């Protein structure tokens, strides 16, 4: 048996070991992996998930039991290789020597820290390993302001981490725009607008001159090239990486002028028995900072060792990321002879496709704000665009098919043909294709495309909510209810896999809340919520929040009106009467929220849930109370309904209205449920909505007495909550119900499924257990703690939030700033005839 020693157990080192083990069916190689870090390989690409609660174990890339076969493959942790003795063919660690027949260097990179004075002060960090993130998280606790040096991919990821840690966050970038290596001027401008709308401050064209310490010796401020100073509590350097080639240098192997272990296209260094792969390798004049080229190199070396000729064929440098929740994708060569550009500042979308001059071949492109067309477009590089350009640039909704040779997963070099082969071998879903081909297992951006290829191949797909659960929302709801599950971790442990994602976490949070599993910020539930629910307030464009107290039926006493006015005045909030009979108080900083709620709660207000997927308002006209046409008390009923359903969590927001006569002043037919008074009682309408695709509600029942009306609404809401898909409004849900309104009538009125007693009981439980979320938060120091990270400087105005005055009130400053999203000239270049 020959011996291969692998130095480094990072993403690429681990991929190499797995590939060699899978291919080496005759057991020719014994593998020893020497790893400097104290934990086995983990998902560095997904590192930031650590701040959303992922544990190091969950980030691990090493299959369970993988290194348990002492003999043919072994891993030594905490074993830094200090020397390679090429003459004796051994490597040394502090613990001993390891002989090799072949040596694979997979030592990765280190974070580059610009040598500015103060770069090594306490309170400065890099963003590369789990240990870096642990140190950053621990230091950030209780601190207020953080800055990231570097506005590239990594810098934006680090900025998001600071934001999740509750810090006011600044991004300092030397270049004149964000992501200078990937984006053009217009794409970067759009990204900047969106990043700033989240409340982060972006300083482009800004040089960090030095870091200054405070009295405790830790970093206290940053001084920029123009002399300006920014007070900070911590600084993260994310200004690029450098290959770790120190071992190779010491061993006399050739390294590049600007670093990197020189290898040829077979990944051999200048010593034929030593290979270098991944980020430490200088592959024909280029160091790749992405994982896919590293995986390709791992494959090449595994094949070489088994005497199968293989060479590195170049790399696809496309990337798609969700940076701070904003889609950004760059693929192929975004500098074509013909550029097609689409920009929609209202929706924050920018798209550019680069084509050959005959517009027949796609060369590459940039997508900011909406990257839904990314997977299809990337797979189409080098060929014609499979559909109309306008479709790709606008909505991302496309029709058309890709050629079989199109690369579907660039991380793992999987083509459409490979996927179809897997499907014909029996893979019937995305997890199956992942297991067979490895497509979708690294950055995950091709998963939507895998789904559409399954559909194209005629495979009936399940309605799995995401890769972590093989269930639809409705099935998850039933599982949670029937099994009495109360936490996400219990659900994922018993019925799912992995650590969850942006799709399943809020969905499960909403189901748990629908089932009355305690306060939304209780224990683990808190980490599942999206931003609005996280702070029980609506995040607005400049990073401030709006506070919307409940005003059932729109009825409010003068005293309460005065309290709202006083709160708004004292906190300088913009006030607006909304379309749903509420008063919206806009512009509150997150640290001000508890104090604002305190005043409102003391005056008898509670949360209007304008932030949640929950009941919003039951709008009403003035009915018999005032109106000469009114035939029923629409205000009284609206108040009763709103108090009954307040806090009810649902797949989407729920809006309702009650009109006191057929004149319909409350516009009840445009709501999820609408009630219109008749001489004899109430008419009930179901499944309406306003918005982008308005729909009038359908008449469900006529002349109902109040008790029957309320029971029907109870059942309608509970049945909807249990059976609708995530983010499906009642209108779409009703349209998707087999049998439509008649079927719904059978279920709710005739009890055809025998469900009504259960639905009634569920609603009674909800009504009986309602607790105001604001009040409960104020009463619980643990929950309040999430709002205190900003309180350490309660009187200092947040420098990232600027207001201007408009019509006598404060509005976000950037609201007024012009935004260049398509450059100052049309980006069409002339070509030689």
By CB under 6 A, name the binding residues for ligand SF4: 621-623, 627, 629-630, 634, 659-661, 663-665
From the list 41-49, 480-488, 752-760, 761-769, the region that binds ligand FAD by CB under 6 A is 41-49
How far is it, in rounded angstroms, from Cα 238 to Cα 323?
14
**Number of residues binding to ligand FAD, judged by CB under 6 A:** 37
From the list 7-15, 136-144, 355-363, 808-816, the region that binds ligand FAD by CB under 6 A is 7-15
From candidates 21, 37, 74, 775, binder to ligand FAD by CB under 6 A: 37
How many other CB atoms are found less than 10 A from the CB of residue 25?
8
CB 408, min distance to ligand SF4, A: 56
CB 780, min distance to ligand SF4, A: 41
Separation in Å, CA 545 to CA 589, 594, 776, 779: 6, 12, 19, 21
Give the dihedral sign, CA 301/304/308/314.
positive
How many other CB atoms are found less than 10 A from the CB of residue 143?
19
* Nearest residue to 181 via CA among 330, 336, 382, 393: 330
DSSP 8-state symbol, 447: H
From the list 37-45, 471-479, 507-515, 718-726, the region that binds ligand FAD by CB under 6 A is 37-45
Q: Which is nearer to ligand SF4, 217 or 579 (CB)?
A: 579
Residue 244: which of ligand SF4, ligand FAD, none does it interact with, CB under 5 to 8 A by kind? ligand FAD
CB 660, min distance to ligand SF4, A: 3
Applying CB under 6 A, does 447 fall inside the site for ligand FAD?
Answer: no
Residue 291: which of ligand FAD, ligand SF4, none does it interact with, CB under 5 to 8 A by kind? ligand FAD
CB 266, min distance to ligand FAD, A: 17
From candidates 291, 349, 393, 677, binder to ligand FAD by CB under 6 A: 291
Applying CB under 6 A, does 34 fall inside the site for ligand FAD?
Answer: yes
From candidates 24, 157, 533, 672, binder to ligand FAD by CB under 6 A: 157
Applying CB under 6 A, does 321 fall inside the site for ligand FAD?
Answer: yes
Q: Which is nearer to ligand SF4, 597 or 685 (CB)?
A: 685
| Pattern 626-655, ligand FAD, x by CB under 6 A | ------------------------------
CB 628, min distance to ligand SF4, A: 7
CB 624, min distance to ligand SF4, A: 7
How far is it, in rounded angstroms, from Cα 117 to Cα 413?
43
Quick one: three-class SS letters along 501-524? CCCHHHHHHHHHHHCCCCCCCCCC
Residue 10: which of ligand SF4, ligand FAD, none does it interact with, CB under 5 to 8 A by kind? ligand FAD
Separation in Å, CA 65 to CA 8, 61, 68, 74, 438: 19, 12, 5, 11, 20
- DSSP string computed for 721-762: HHHSPTT--HHHHHHHSTTHHHHHHHHHTS-TTS-HHHHHHH
Q: Which is nearer to ligand SF4, 144 or 623 (CB)?
A: 623
DSSP 8-state symbol, 255: B
Tokens of 798: 């947040």
Q: Look at the block and give the residue holding tokens 């120190």.
A: 246
How far is it, in rounded angstroms, from Cα 158 to Cα 179?
13
From candidates 278, 553, 587, 608, binder to ligand FAD by CB under 6 A: 278
Strand, coil or helix: 555: coil
How far is it, in rounded angstroms, from Cα 717 to Cα 695?
18
Q: Which is nearer to ligand FAD, 245 or 606 (CB)?
A: 245
From the list 287-295, 365-373, 533-541, 643-651, the region that binds ligand FAD by CB under 6 A is 287-295
Q: Look at the block and give the residue holding tokens 């064209």.
A: 205
How far is it, in rounded angstroms, from Cα 191 to Cα 819?
11
Residue 811: which of ligand FAD, ligand SF4, none does it interact with, CB under 5 to 8 A by kind? none
CA of residue 193 relative to chain centroid, distance: 18
Applying CB under 6 A, does 328 fall inside the site for ligand FAD?
Answer: no
Residue 621: which of ligand FAD, ligand SF4, none does it interact with, CB under 5 to 8 A by kind? ligand SF4
Residue 80: which of ligand SF4, ligand FAD, none does it interact with, CB under 5 to 8 A by kind? ligand FAD
Residue 661: which of ligand SF4, ligand FAD, none does it interact with, CB under 5 to 8 A by kind? ligand SF4
From the list 3-11, 530-538, 568-576, 736-744, the region that binds ligand FAD by CB under 6 A is 3-11
Applying CB under 6 A, does 267 fall inside the site for ligand FAD?
Answer: no
Which helix (H) or strand (E) segment holds residue 545: the answer is strand 545-547
| Pattern 427-446, ligand FAD, x by CB under 6 A | ----------------x---
Applying CB under 6 A, does 11 fall inside the site for ligand FAD?
Answer: yes
* Nearest residue to 655 via CA among 614, 696, 698: 614
Applying CB under 6 A, does 52 fall inside the site for ligand FAD?
Answer: no
Tell me the residue number closest to ligand FAD, measured at CB. 10
The pairing of strands 145-149 and 234-237 is parallel
DSSP 8-state symbol, 581: S
How far is it, in rounded angstroms, from Cα 307 to Cα 76?
27
Applying CB under 6 A, does 35 fall inside the site for ligand FAD?
Answer: yes
* Nearest residue to 267 via CA among 254, 255, 284: 284
How far is it, in rounded angstroms, from Cα 390 to Cα 372?
14
CB 558, min distance to ligand SF4, A: 22
Strand pairing partners for 223?
210, 229
* Burial class of 775 by CB neighbour count within 10 A (0 to 12, 13 to 18, 19+): middle
Residue 665: which of ligand FAD, ligand SF4, none does it interact with, CB under 5 to 8 A by kind? ligand SF4
CB 286, min distance to ligand FAD, A: 13
Quick one: three-class SS letters along 376-440? HHHHCCCCCCCCCHHHHHCCCCCCCCCCCCCEEECCCCEEHHHHHHHHHCCCCCHHHHHHHHCCC
Residue 294: which of ligand SF4, ligand FAD, none does it interact with, CB under 5 to 8 A by kind? ligand FAD
Q: Which residues bind ligand FAD (CB under 6 A)?
A: 7-13, 34-37, 44-45, 47-48, 80-81, 106-109, 127-128, 154, 157, 244, 247, 278-279, 289-292, 294, 319, 321, 443
């Amino acid at each position: 048996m020959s011996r291969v020693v692998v130095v480094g157990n990072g993403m690429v080192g681990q991929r190499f070991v797995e590939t060699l083990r899978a291919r080496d069916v005759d057991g020719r190689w014994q593998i020893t992996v020497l790893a400097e870090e104290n934990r086995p390989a983990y998902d560095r690409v997904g590192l930031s998930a650590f701040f959303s609660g992922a544990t190091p174990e969950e980030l691990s890339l090493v299959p369970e039991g993988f290194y348990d076969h002492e003999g043919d493959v072994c891993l030594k942790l905490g074993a830094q290789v200090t020397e390679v003795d090429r003459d004796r063919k051994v490597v040394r660690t502090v613990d001993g020597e390891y002989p090799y027949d072949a040596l694979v260097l997979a030592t990765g990179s280190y974070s580059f820290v610009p040598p500015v004075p103060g770069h090594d002060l306490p309170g400065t960090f890099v963003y590369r390993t789990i240990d870096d993130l642990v140190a950053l998280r621990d230091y950030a606790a209780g601190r207020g302001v953080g800055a990231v040096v570097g506005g590239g991919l990594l810098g934006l990821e680090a900025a998001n981490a600071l934001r999740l840690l509750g810090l006011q966050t600044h991004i300092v970038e030397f270049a004149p725009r964000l992501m200078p290596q990937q984006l053009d001027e217009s794409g970067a401008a759009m990204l900047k607008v969106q990043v700033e709308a989240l409340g982060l401050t972006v300083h482009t064209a800004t040089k960090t001159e030095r870091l200054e310490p405070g009295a405790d010796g830790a970093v206290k401020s940053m001084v920029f090239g123009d002399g300006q100073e920014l007070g900070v509590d911590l600084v993260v350097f994310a200004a690029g990486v450098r290959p770790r080639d120190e071992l190779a240098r010491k061993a006399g192997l050739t390294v590049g002028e600007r670093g990197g272990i020189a290898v040829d296209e077979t990944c051999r260094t200048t010593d034929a028995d030593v290979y270098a792969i991944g980020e430490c390798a200088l592959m024909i004049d280029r160091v790749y900072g992405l994982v896919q080229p590293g995986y390709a190199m791992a494959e090449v070396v595994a094949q070489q060792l088994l005497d199968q000729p293989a060479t590195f064929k170049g790399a696809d440098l496309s990337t798609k990321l969700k940076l701070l929740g904003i889609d950004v994708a760059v693929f192929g060569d975004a500098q074509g002879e013909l550029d097609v550009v689409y920009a929609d500042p209202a929706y924050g979308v920018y798209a550019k496709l680069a084509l050959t001059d005959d517009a027949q071949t796609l060369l590459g492109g940039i997508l900011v704000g909406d990257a839904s067309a990314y997977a299809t477009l990337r797979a189409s590089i080098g060929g014609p665009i499979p559909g109309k350009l306008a479709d790709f640039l606008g909505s991302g909704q496309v029709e058309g098919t890709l050629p079989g040779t199109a690369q579907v997963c660039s991380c793992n070099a999987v083509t459409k043909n490979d996927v179809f082969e897997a499907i014909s071998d029996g893979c019937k879903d995305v997890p199956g294709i992942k297991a067979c081909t490895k497509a979708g297992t690294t950055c995950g951006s091709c998963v939507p495309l895998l789904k559409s290829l399954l559909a194209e191949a005629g495979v009936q797909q399940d309605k799995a909510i995401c890769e972590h659960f093989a269930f639809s929302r409705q099935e998850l709801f039933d599982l949670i209810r029937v099994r009495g599950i109360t936490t996400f971790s219990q659900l994922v442990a018993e019925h799912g896999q992995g650590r969850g994602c942006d799709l399943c976490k809020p969905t499960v949070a909403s189901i748990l809340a629908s089932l009355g599993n305690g306060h939304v910020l209780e224990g683990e539930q808190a980490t599942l919520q999206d931003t609005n629910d996280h702070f029980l307030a609506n995040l607005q464009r400049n990073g401030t929040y709006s506070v919307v107290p409940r005003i059932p039926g729109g009825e409010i006493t003068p005293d309460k009106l005065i309290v709202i006015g006083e709160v708004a005045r004292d906190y300088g909030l913009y006030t607006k009467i909304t379309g749903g009979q509420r008063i919206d108080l806009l512009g509150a900083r997150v640290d001000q929220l508890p104090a604002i709620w305190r005043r409102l709660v003391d005056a008898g207000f509670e949360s209007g849930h304008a932030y949640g997927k929950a009941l919003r308002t039951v709008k009403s006209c003035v009915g018999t109370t005032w109106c000469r046409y009114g035939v029923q008390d629409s205000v009284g009923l609206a108040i009763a309904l709103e108090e009954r359903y307040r806090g009810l969590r649902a797949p989407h927001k729920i809006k309702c209205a009650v009109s006191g006569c057929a004149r319909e002043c409350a516009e009840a037919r445009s709501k999820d449920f609408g009630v219109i008074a008749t001489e004899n009682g109430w008419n009930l309408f179901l499944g309406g909505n306003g918005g982008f695709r308005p729909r009038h509600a359908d008449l469900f029942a006529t002349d109902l007495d109040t008790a029957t009306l309320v029971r029907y609404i109870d059942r309608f809401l509970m049945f909807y909550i249990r059976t609708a898909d995530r983010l499906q409004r009642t209108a779409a849900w009703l349209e998707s119900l087999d049998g439509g309104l008649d079927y719904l009538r059978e279920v709710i009125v005739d009890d055809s499924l025998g469900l009504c007693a259960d639905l009634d009981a569920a609603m009674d439980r909800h009504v009986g257990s309602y607790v105001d979320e604001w009040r409960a938060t104020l009463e619980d120091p643990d929950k309040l703690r999430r709002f205190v990270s900003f309180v350490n400087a309660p009187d200092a105005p947040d420098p990232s939030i600027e207001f201007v005055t408009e019509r006598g009130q404060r509005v976000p400053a950037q609201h007024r700033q012009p935004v260049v999203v398509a450059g100052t000239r049309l980006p069409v270049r002339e070509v030689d005839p």
